[in-house]
Structure 1
Amino acid sequence: MASGLKLTEFVKRPSLGTKGKRIRVRANFFEVTGIPEANIHHYDVTITPDVPPALNRRVFKRLEELERNNGLGDVRPIFDGRKNIFTAKPLPFGETTTFDINIPEDDGVTSTKRPPRSFKIKIKKVNTINMEELRRFLESKSELTPNCLTAIMALDVLVRHHPSMTYTTVGRSFYTPEGSQALFGGVEVWQGYYQSVRPAPNSMMINIDLSATAFYEGGPLVQMILKLLNRRSADELRRGISDRDRLKLEKSLKKLKIKVTHRGDTVAKRRFKILKITNTPASSTKFDVGDGQTTDVASYFQKTYNMRLNYPFLPCVVIRKENYLPMEVCDVIEGQRHVRKLNERQTADMIKFTCQQPHMRANKIKRGIEILNYRQNPYLQQFGMKVSSEMMVVNARVLPIPTLQYHPSSREASFNPRDGQWNLRDKKVATGATLGSWAVIAFGGERDMGMQAINHFIRELITTCQDTGMNIPTRNPPISYANPHGDIEASIKQAWVRAGNAAKNKPQLILCILPNTGVGLYAEIKRVSDTVIGVATQCVQSKHMFSAKKQYCANVCLKMNVKLGGMNSFILPAEVPFISDKPTILMGADVTHPGPGDTTRPSIAALCASMDSKASRYAASIRYQTGRQEMITDLASMCKELLKTFYQTCGKKPERILFYRDGVSEERKRIEREIVSRELSLSRKLLIHSNLTFICKVMLAQGTSRPTHYHVLLDENAFTPDSLQTLSYNLCYVFARCTRAVSLVPPVYYAHLVCARARFHSRGENWNDTEGTSEESTGSALTFGTVKPELQKVMYFM
């Protein structure tokens, strides 16, 4: 690579694509019909002490209230919540100034014991943004300059400032309780609206989309705990709360903000934060009232407030040392974001809320436009910015459907799918694997999983696999039962030995029948099979085993075949010439991060690469790195590892490389593109003998259609837009574990699956603790195993 390689955020495309059927579609983009004409003034702001953006905005709002028509003049600045202020005209103080601001506690109540918080705000002039330069860029008359990027950022801050100061804000989205829906366990999902300003030919656009996040339900705390413990009434808790339930409550309620209902209006405004809950009920939770006297909380409330507790058998919440409140006098304050991990039932409810038909999403986006009310926004009016309230109607193309190939002996060996999906009827996999040495473990008792049902399922699975083109000479694998709460590693090792002894050959696969959908058992099975024994495993749920449906068995067959080195389908070489003409490798990279608040677990980076001329078989490489670090620190060695595997598999070095990089969020795209550019430079030094095309995938909010958007950062393979778009689209039809087109190119999809699998390779993780808070994790005690060499060259992660 030439040392002078220049990477920019936008690479000019050589031309526009023309292939496919032309159509017109409505898109969730809204045109900026009036871009500010006057230059915009950019200021740096430093707020001391350093606090989160939500509190920064409160401080800034207080500054506006106190200094309007004084220190700020008649200017209405816009603020990004962190470091940047933009104004439509210069602020009156010149280059720099400092303000001292006091704000009360967040409940608006101050006293001698609770003085207001003091902040110092330093504002310094940074630059004047030339808006004419942005207009020239949009008209393709000049390059994208740093000034243009700052102008785009200023417009982005402008459209988000008013809703961010008015509504609950998370990242680029603001949320309202309007239309909220209760989830299980005292949690509700709020509708959010996402905004992002984007450049387009000859204009600026605003992308508006939907988002959703979980909040705690407001209202009586007693109702919250009933929902957390899945009880219908508090009377069910008269006999007390078990230690397990108490710990569950304490984890769920810790740091939750509440207000009291038993005192006057002034105190009712006070907000308290729950530190923990007592081991004892209110009737026997005692404290010192002075003069060496003690009393219990229930008696204190009866004497002091003439209030007889309805639920003296419930524990108290602790808000300060020796400061107890009965649960029935506490209300949960609305609008608190739920940052803990959702359990499986909550996640399922969340998916139902967010998964909607395009027309329903479009209607909700229109509602978002009404809430945003751009026309009446005083900040937009001040800058002279106008936004259309109608969705853009744009030109689009439906690309030709590729021709899929199955085994020549199939009745339907070559066909074009319809509507992005198909089935395996009359088809045999392109290359069927042979399964000769295997065993079955049923995790449960014989009363729950009868041997007759297991044998019926195995017969149905074998028949389906053989009809689909696999070869299974061992039709009676050894079957054993194991305790799902016992020593999983010992159980799998025993099954491995039994498989080898029965077939007189090295075991290839262990089929595991699971009793439920819990993650803990599945995680331990994969840790042991991937990193301890080195054997492929296929897990099935007992509910599917009992029904033994043909379609389910066919889906299991697809996974088993590729785990054993087979190939399910491929595309005609003429339709993917880039990967069939010359030795070519496709690579996909992804990074996943620990949950919110988790400061102990690592981030996981994965790289997947194709290993054949049909780009149907893949190998993977994994690295664990510092938590929340987006850059793949060991990318060069990961590339080297997979290039070596490619050479060993194909006998040739790749002449061309197509690299898809996942993990770049729209919210942090500018920062993360810089990171990806550094990755590109590092990998380019290693891949010096191959032509490289490097593509960065940006994941938008779900939108009204497919969510994936690709940016080309480097192209040494001279792709035309048609050839690159068609190749990426066609690849989505050969994702190995289903018979439908997916919305993400397989190399990246596989890398995402590898990251998810690598999370299970840790020893010491309590996967069953779904209620635990990420911030209380024991991640520092985790140790991660390495995938065994015999699995690294096959698609074990499917």
Structure 2
Amino acid sequence: MSSSGKSRGRGRARPIQSKDTNVPGGLQDYSDLETSSCVSQRSESSDMPQNISETAQSDEQFRAEKPRRGNPPKVMPGAPRGSGVQGITSEFSTMRIGSSSGRSSSRSVPYSSMSETQPQATEKQGTVGDPVNIIANYIKILTKPQWELFQYHIEFIPNVENKRFRREIISQHRTQFKDVAFDGTTIYTFDDFGDSPEFVCRHPATSEEVRVILRKVARNSPDSPIFFHLANLIVRKLLELSGMKLIGRNYYQFDHKIDLDRYKLTLFPGFMTNVNIYEGALMVNVDLSHKVLNKTTVYQRLQDIFSQYQDVKYAQDTATKELVGQIVLTTYNSKTYKIDEIAWDRSPSQTFPMRDGSQCSFIKYYEDKYQLKIIDPGQPLLVSKPSKKDRRAGVNAPFLLVPELCCVTGISDIMRSDFHFMKEIASYTHVDANTRYNRLRQFVTDIHQNSECQDELAKWNMKLDTDLVKFEARILDAEHILYFDRSVRYNYNEADWSRDGRNMRHISAKSLYNWIVVFPGRDEQLSLGLIDALIQVCKPFGMHVEYPYIQQLLNDRPESYLQALKDSIPHNTDLVLCILSNNRKDRYDALKKFLCLDNPVPSQMVLTKTLSRRNQLMSVATKIGIQINAKLGGEVWGVQIPTKTLMVIGMDSYHDSKRRGASVGAFVASTNPTLTKFYSRVIYQRTAQELMDGLAICMKDALKEYYQNNNSLPEKIVLYRDGVSDGQLAAVAEHELPQIIETFPKIMSGYEPKLAVVIVKKRGNARFFQQEGRNIQNPQPGTIIDHTVTSAEWYDFYLISQCARQGTVAPTHYNVIWDRTNFKVDHMQRLTYKLCHLYYNWPGTIRVPAVCQYAHKLAFLVGQSLHQDFSVSLANKLFYL
């Protein structure tokens, strides 16, 4: 028994919220409220304070010591490009056709600019399943322009950074630039202005003379890839003409804002759009978007923190812990930045080098460029390191931001832990299928009823359809869930067999003869109640559970748990179960490191709040029992797999939270004919070469494990690769794929299994609605969409495999970039759907194949808690569930 003692200190590490966003529900080591993925981490500025004049503080408020002397490192304020600073400027209220986006968002790549990935399959459309009427969130562009388009790069001398000023300068020559599209750096027009025309204008703010030089860079036909860029500019112009305002990449309806005064937040509804070509037809993909504005500036938050603590150094540390890693939005433009550190020794009164070599203070810069007066010259500055995109553009110096001019965006951890707050946010953002459909239809109607929008389309010889696109899809049959001696046919609409599976014997049940339960003394009754419940509920599973060895602690400190385990774990321990009073991260990490690295044993963590509801104890114990059997290497249930010599693999990645620049690649492969036993490994990667070397080792070890289990090697292998964007497809095909293929003959001479590689994409903006008469609802699980809104150049399809009880269901997109299996299209689609039934943490279908979700769970555990490879003795167990 460990020694007693209370945990002391002013703060604890924040718990990590491990979310199974691909799973409708289910038991996890740490469960928390799922947050709406459509709540974005951005803000708007109309209600945002621009200065803090009444509460200006002296330089000493935020500083524990005097600033260092000497020349500071070269940095750039988070402002415009041109005068030695980086960024693109514009007022929040400015209506724009396009702008640079926030730092963390990702663009979809136009199909026309991608390499063709469709493998040998000549037909990508399946036939199996019942027909169903589907509506998609796409609008057809009915008439494609037939014109020549001239493209000009525009240069301003002296340079003008502010996009709004650039537009105003261009508008001074309305006769020359009557029908043009301008994205801030390039003009698109029907008119040929010559090769290098020049104009003289006046700066709208300073009245100084500005030379405008146009340089012809291209002459494009309607079939040119540049058309997609122009079409997106035109569609975004329609949003602007409809009265919406741009924040980051999307447009929002300020007149429909929702004030959440209790939380000092404002929620803005809006739309995202993207024009692309799908199955030969040009269409606009449109979906709802939401932005959250935190009305509190970073400066105000710093003041709140420093008013709470007399110790300046402690206040600095507290502010650093809270703000570093947060995304902030600048009030003078719509750009977002991630705070990487706080420069306590810097201030707005200090200077930075301009492009012409002169020095300028931050105070003077913002007053001259934006007419913004910085009230507190002694506040520290926020440091944001350049993103990969910035570095590719040649920007290597960090950005410096003024706290007065920045607002914290999104939702804080405290808010996320507030059930009532998250429920209120979800009521606006997690809209059901019928509400989403009606809003999208209203969007189309508003465009058609707006005369300015119609004039803009007519100017470019374009016309939009009057409704969302409709077509026929298919619903695959529900699967039979196979247990030891019986099968279950689940409810078709819910795709959930939790009730039926409660008393079913598992395919392969592992028993608990030697296991340990550790808990604080104050939780004795809850812990003993769980033990009794587990012994009872596991009997129908075929699991024999002996009474465990009990370790009762005097306190819940991490060292107490560790010492108790070190004193009591024999070499033949089957499982360690720890009862935890809360999800304190340092304790969780310490336990997982000890039980996955130092003394590798499958482990289960259970929170006391999960056990506190007596009427739900048996249900909780049932889920824990299923999870324990899976962690021990048991097989809970299965589905019919016609091909008996098949291996499926799931890969996903996660950035390590401590090892900067390192990513964890998780590799999970099936090792038996029924695809119910698995072998797992991880790859730590900093470079592409590390990934390829590690991938070869994982593939080799997985095939050895398969051979040991079956005395043969798989004839076909299907690899589901998650975590890959459209722009990374070439890297997978050119680097990862050859590495896998080269591994096969190294296992056995002449071994050449038939391989398929499928890219799994969850973050797309496609949404589908099932129409039954006048009713609009989410499509049923098993719905396949493989035409109309898919790519003509890809072997791809959408699958809705999960049931969404709230909100609008999100489909998963599958792109088969390599296929030598000779599977028919129906076979590939049905196999993918079958695999969505085999995730043992949830008795129902999930959003991705189970091997992908297992890989996600493993990568998350290693990247957040272990920070190194786990013991290989655990590789054939799902210890990370």
- Same fold by TM-score, threshold 0.5 exceeded? yes
The DSSP-based 3-state class of the residue aligned with 1:77 is strand
Q: Is the contact between residue 650 and residue 719 of structure 2 (CA under 8 Å) also seen in structure 1?
A: yes
Match of 1:168 among 246, 258, 263: 246
Gapped runs of 5+ residues in structure 2?
Answer: 1-113, 333-338, 350-373, 382-401, 746-751, 768-807
The letter of the residue matching 2:609 is K
Alignment-mate amino acid for residue 572 of structure 2: K
Supply the distance in 1 between the matched residues of 2:653 and 2:875 (Cα, whole angstroms).
19
Q: Distance in 2 between matches of 1:176 and 1:735?
A: 41
Count of aligned pairs? 651
Residues 3-45 of structure 1, C-alpha deviations (whole Å, 9 max, x = no match): xxx9624556515212111110222111112222224445567
Q: How far apart are the structure 2 equivalents of 1:526 and 1:64? A: 61
Q: 1:22–1:239: structure 2 CA closer, same or farther, 3 Å change rule? A: closer
> Are the counterparts in 2 of residues 593 and 628 from structure 1 also a CA contact under 8 Å?
no
What's the CA shift string for 1:535-580, capped at 9, x where partnerless? 11111110122335222111112211111010110112xxx323x2
Structure-to-structure mapping, 1:472-511, within 5 angstroms: 472=545, 474-481=546-553, 483-487=555-559, 491-492=561-562, 494-495=564-565, 497-500=567-570, 506-511=572-577
Q: 1:30 — aligned with what? A: 139
Residue 91 of structure 1 deviates from its aligned partner by: 4.9
Kindly indicate whether the alpha-carbon contact (under 8 Å) linking 1:210 and 1:361 is maintained by their aligned counterparts in 2: yes
**SS where residue 577 of structure 1 aligns?**
coil
1:600 match: 660
User: Do the aligned partners of residues 60 and 371 (structure 1) sit closer, same or farther apart at CA in structure 2, a change above 3 Å counting?
Assistant: farther
> Does the 8 Å CA contact 2:141/2:284 hold for their aligned counterparts?
yes
Paired residues for 1:198-237 under 5 Å: 198-217=276-295
**Aligned counterparts of 1:346 and 1:90: Cα–Cα separation in 2:** 57
Could you tell me which residue of structure 2 aligns to residue 87 of structure 1?
188
5+ residue gaps in structure 1? Answer: 1-5, 134-146, 261-272, 280-286, 288-316, 325-329, 763-783
Distance 1:563 1:220, change over 3 A: closer
From 384, 405, 411, give the equivalent of 2:461.
Answer: 384
Query: Which residue number corresponds to residue 872 of structure 2?
Result: 789
8 Å Cα contact 1:524-1:760 kept in structure 2: no
Report the counterpart of residue 591 of structure 2 in structure 1: 525
Check whether the contact 1:26–1:391 (CA below 8 A) recurs between aligned residues: yes
2:125 matches 1:16: yes
CA distance, structure 1, for counterparts of residue 707 and residue 156 of structure 2: 56
Q: Aligned equivalents of 1:525 and 1:584: distance in 2? A: 36
* 1:587 to 2:653 alignment: no
CA RMSD of aligned residues (A): 4.5
- Contact 1:496–1:510 at 8 Å: present in 2 too? no
1:698 to 2:773 alignment: no
Structure 2 counterpart SS, 1:711? strand
Within the candidate set 453, 474, 490, 1:397 is matched to 474
Q: Report the 3-state secondary structure (helix = DSSP H, G, I; strand = E; otherwise coil) of the residue aligned with 2:698.
A: helix
Tell me how far 1:599 sits from its aligned partner. Answer: 10
Equivalent-residue separation in structure 1 for 2:863 and 2:588 (angstroms): 12
Relative distance call for 1:88 and 1:571 in structure 2 (3 A) is same
- Paired residue for 1:650? 710
Q: 1:603 to 1:220 in 2, by over 3 A?
A: closer
User: 1: distance between equivalents of 2:320 and 2:461?
Assistant: 51
Instruction: Name the amino acid aligned to 2:136.
Output: A
User: Shift in Å at residue 492 of structure 1?
Assistant: 3.4
After TM superposition, give the deviation of residue 610 of structure 1 in Å: 1.0
> Is 2:654 the partner of 1:545?
no
Distance 1:660 1:510 in 2: 32
Give the conservation status (yes or no) of the 8 Å contact 1:602–1:628. Answer: no
Pair 345,277 (structure 1): closer, same or farther in 2 beyond 3 Å = farther
What SS does the aligned partner of 1:744 have?
coil
In structure 2, the residue matched to 1:420 is 495
In the alignment, is the contact (CA less than 8 A) between 1:256 and 1:274 conserved in 2?
A: no
Does the 8 Å CA contact 1:32/1:204 hold for their aligned counterparts? yes
Answer whether contact 1:169 1:175 (CA < 8 A) is retained: yes
The CA distance in 1 between the partners of 2:685 and 2:608, in whole Å, is: 36
Which secondary structure state, in structure 2, belongs to the residue aligned with residue 217 of structure 1?
strand
| Pairing 1:530-679 to 2, within 5 Å after superposition | 530-547=596-613, 549-572=617-640, 576-578=641-643, 580=644, 583-593=645-655, 600-626=660-686, 634-665=694-725, 669=726, 671-678=727-734, 679=736
Question: Which residue is equivalent to 2:73?
Answer: none
CA distance in 2, matches of 1:364, 1:23: 23
Q: Give the SS at the match of 1:427.
A: coil
Match of 1:460, as an amino acid?
A
TM-aligned CA distance change 1:88 to 1:394, over 3 Å: farther
Mapped partners of 2:688, 2:240: distance in 1:
25
CA contact under 8 A between 2:169 and 2:202: conserved in structure 1? no
Q: Give, in whole Å, the separation in 1 of the partners of 2:465 and 2:446.
A: 14
SS at match of 1:725: helix
Q: Tell me the SS of whatever aligns to 2:549.
A: coil
* Cα separation, partners in 2 of 1:482 and 1:712, compared to 1, 3 Å: farther
Cα deviation, residue 631, structure 1 = 7.9
Q: Is the 8 A contact 1:221 1:331 kept in 2?
A: yes
Give the letter for the 2:631 counterpart: K
The counterpart of 1:159, out of the listed 219, 230, 235, is: 235
1:421 Cα shift? Answer: 0.6
Task: Pick the aligned partner of 2:844 from 737, 740, 746.
Answer: 740
Q: Displacement, 1:624?
A: 2.8
SS of alignment partner, residue 708 of structure 2: helix
Distance 1:759 1:433 in 2: 29
Give how far 1:216 is off.
Answer: 2.1
Q: How does 1:272-287 map to 2 (within 5 A)?
A: none
Are the equivalent residues in 2 in contact too, given 1:275–1:319 (CA < 8 A)? no
Contact 1:62 1:101 in 2 (8 A): no
Amino acid at match of 2:869: T
SS of the residue corresponding to residue 701 of structure 1 reads coil
| Alpha-carbon distance in structure 2 between the residues aligned to 1:485 and 1:458 | 22
Q: Is the 8 A contact 2:756 2:816 kept in 1?
A: yes
Relative distance call for 1:335 and 1:387 in structure 2 (3 A) is: farther
Q: CA deviation at 1:686?
A: 3.1
The answer to whether the Cα contact below 8 Å between 2:534 and 2:625 also exists between their aligned partners in 1 is: yes
1:453 aligned to 526, 533, 539, which one?
Answer: 526
The structural deviation recorded for 1:415 is 3.2
Distance 1:252 1:498 in 2: 39
The AA in structure 2 aligned to 1:463 is: Q
> How far apart are the structure 1 equivalents of 2:677 and 2:452?
56
In 1, Cα distance between equivalents of 2:323 and 2:577: 41
What is the identity, as a one-letter code, of the residue corresponding to 1:584?
Answer: L
Q: Give the 3-state SS of the residue equivalent to 2:652 in structure 1.
A: strand
The amino acid of 1:479's aligned partner reads Q
CA distance in 1, matches of 2:627, 2:261: 33
Aligned to 2:541: 468
CA distance in 2: counterparts of 1:609 and 1:44, whole angstroms: 51
Query: What letter corresponds to residue 591 of structure 1 in structure 2?
Result: S
Is contact 1:217–1:332 with CA below 8 Å preserved after alignment?
A: no
Paired residues of 1:218 and 1:332 also in contact (CA < 8 A): no
State the secondary structure of the residue aligned to 2:587: helix
Structure 2 CA distance, aligned partners of 1:631 and 1:121? 48
- 3-state SS of paired residue (1:397): strand
The 1:69–1:359 alpha-carbon spacing in structure 2 relative to 1, beyond 3 Å, is: same
- Larger deviation: 173-182 or 243-252? 243-252
Equivalents in 2 of 1:554, 1:274: separation in Å? 44
Query: What secondary structure, in the 3-state scheme, does the structure 2 residue paired with 1:458 have?
Result: helix
Tell me how far apart the structure 2 counterparts of residues 642 and 67 of structure 1 sit (CA, whole Å).
Answer: 67
- The structural deviation recorded for 1:209 is 1.6
